[in-house]
């Protein structure tokens, strides 16, 4: 199986996992939402690395992309936690 | 094809992980990346707006989100991820001089985009039928406007995919043509990326 296929399968599994977090009552809503946001951004990272081939792109571009992910992730999570006080 | 480009492609086929000695190259033309980052920045602002405004009205958010069809959202996410899978394989086929395979795979990716649009149509029709519009509340305003802008990306992306399906069908492609396919593919993956975050924000997160 090619790496692209493995990554696709993991992305679908991650999507189902976050769907379960939305509907399951296993977690408090705060932890569930943080987990959902983090999973979404990890998915974005793998689309960038393996589908957009950033793994083999110049380091500057890769750092810019991963920097964007970390920035968006931390802003969204902190805004959410700030509101959910 | 320059030796550097052939080597980079051979490396993509063989290695799953980069190392210190990996060859590095920009996929597509530089201009594509300027556009991609412009788009990512604009959408980051959309994401932040949703989080700030809607987060201040958790009750409205809970009610409005509850009325959205979760299964439509999930289905569209799987369609987006699968279209990206098709595109990634199409690009590989094009590089390995399998034009007919590449063309078919780009075509299937466009078809996933079309299915995404059909699902969206039913989803929006149900929302309008239930009396929800842009004016209902902040949640619905952002939902319609931002997923609407995203859907315009899907439409443009489908046109790009269709063009790439026609383009890759012919003779063996050179480096310049392959670079164009790389740029178009990266654009489609960005459409996928934006949807992954929109899906989390509108359908999944709990307030």
Distance CA(B143)–CA(B50), nearest Å, equals 9
Which tokens belong to B38? 């412009």
| Among the partner residues A51, A57, A84, nearest to B84 by beta-carbon distance | A51
Angle CA(B183)–CA(B189)–CA(B195) in degrees, nearest 5? Answer: 145
Enumerate the residues of chain B whose CB falls inside 8 A of the CB of residue A32. 206
Where would I find the beta strands (DSSP E) of chain A?
none
Position B106 confidence tier, pLDDT thresholds 50, 70, 90: very high
Looking at the predicted structure, is the pLDDT value of residue B54 above 90?
no
Position B1 confidence tier, pLDDT thresholds 50, 70, 90: confident
Q: What ipTM, to 2 d.p.?
A: 0.96
Within 8 A by CB and 6+ apart from A25, the residues are none
pLDDT at res. B164: 96
Q: Which residues form the domain of A51?
A: 3-83
Enumerate the residues of chain B whose CB falls inside 8 A of the CB of residue A16. 74
| Among the partner residues A19, A47, A82, nearest to B74 by beta-carbon distance | A19
Total domains in chain A come to 1
Looking at the predicted structure, is the pLDDT value of residue B172 above 80?
no
pLDDT at res. B28: 92
**Do B78 and A19 make contact, defined as CB atoms within 8 angstroms?**
no
**How many CA atoms within 13 Å lie on the side-chain side of A9?**
6
Residue-wise pLDDT tens digits, B66-102 = 889 899 999 999 999 999 999 999 999 999 889 999 9
- Mutation test of the interface with chain A: which of B79, B84, B139, B188, choosing the one with the most A Cβ atoms within 10 A? B84
Q: Which residue on chain B is closest to A55 by alpha carbon?
A: B18
| Among the partner residues B18, B52, B78, nearest to A12 by beta-carbon distance | B78
Position B2 confidence tier, pLDDT thresholds 50, 70, 90: confident
Whose structure tokens read 């992309």? Answer: A65
CB atoms within 10 A of CB B3: 7
Which tokens belong to A24? 């399951």
How many Cβ pairs within 8 Å bridge chains A and B?
131
Which stretch of A68-77, B140-149, B162-171, B178-187 has the lowest confidence by average pLDDT?
B162-171
Q: Which carries the bigger pLDDT value, residue A24 or residue B163?
A: B163
Within 8 A by CB and 6+ apart from A8, the residues are B81, B82, B84, B85
| Among the partner residues B16, B51, B204, nearest to A76 by beta-carbon distance | B51
**Do A52 and B185 make contact, defined as CB atoms within 8 angstroms?**
yes
**Do A5 and B33 make contact, defined as CB atoms within 8 angstroms?**
no
To the nearest whole Å, the CA of A40 is away from the closest chain B CA by 6
To the nearest whole Å, the CA of B51 is away from the closest chain A CA by 7
Position B21 confidence tier, pLDDT thresholds 50, 70, 90: confident
Distance CA(A38)–CA(B74), nearest Å, equals 17
Distance CA(B144)–CA(B68), nearest Å, equals 12
Which tokens belong to B134? 């842009």
Distance CA(B92)–CA(B97), nearest Å, equals 9
Residue-wise pLDDT tens digits, A9-29 = 999 999 999 999 988 767 888
């Amino acid at each position: 199986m090619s790496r692209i296929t493995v990554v696709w399968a993991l992305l679908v599994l991650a999507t189902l996992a976050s769907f379960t977090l939305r509907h399951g009552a296993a977690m408090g809503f705060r932890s569930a939402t943080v987990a959902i946001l983090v999973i979404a951004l990890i998915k974005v990272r793998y689309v960038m690395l393996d589908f957009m081939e950033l793994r083999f792109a110049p380091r500057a571009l890769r750092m810019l992309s991963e920097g964007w992910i970390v920035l968006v992730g931390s802003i969204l999570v902190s805004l959410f936690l700030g509101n959910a006080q | 094809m320059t030796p550097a480009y052939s080597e980079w492609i051979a490396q993509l086929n063989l290695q799953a992980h980069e190392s210190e000695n990996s060859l590095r190259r920009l996929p597509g033309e530089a201009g594509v990346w300027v556009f991609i980052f412009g788009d990512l920045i604009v959408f980051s602002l959309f994401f932040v707006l949703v989080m700030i405004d809607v987060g201040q009205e958790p009750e409205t958010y809970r009610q409005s989100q509850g009325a959205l069809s979760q299964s439509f959202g999930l289905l569209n996410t799987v369609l987006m991820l699968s279209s990206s899978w098709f595109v990634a394989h199409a690009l590989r086929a094009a590089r390995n001089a399998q034009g007919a395979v590449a063309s078919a795979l780009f075509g299937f990716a466009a078809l996933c985009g079309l299915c995404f649009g059909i699902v969206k149509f039913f989803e929006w029709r149900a929302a309008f039928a239930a009396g929800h519009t842009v004016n209902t509340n902040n949640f619905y305003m952002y939902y319609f406007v931002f997923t609407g802008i995203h859907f315009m990306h899907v439409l443009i992306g489908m046109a790009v995919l269709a063009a790439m399906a026609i383009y890759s069908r012919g003779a063996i492609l050179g480096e310049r043509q392959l670079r164009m396919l790389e740029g178009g593919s990266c654009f489609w993956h960005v459409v996928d990326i934006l949807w992954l975050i929109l899906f989390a924000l509108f359908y999944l997160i709990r307030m």
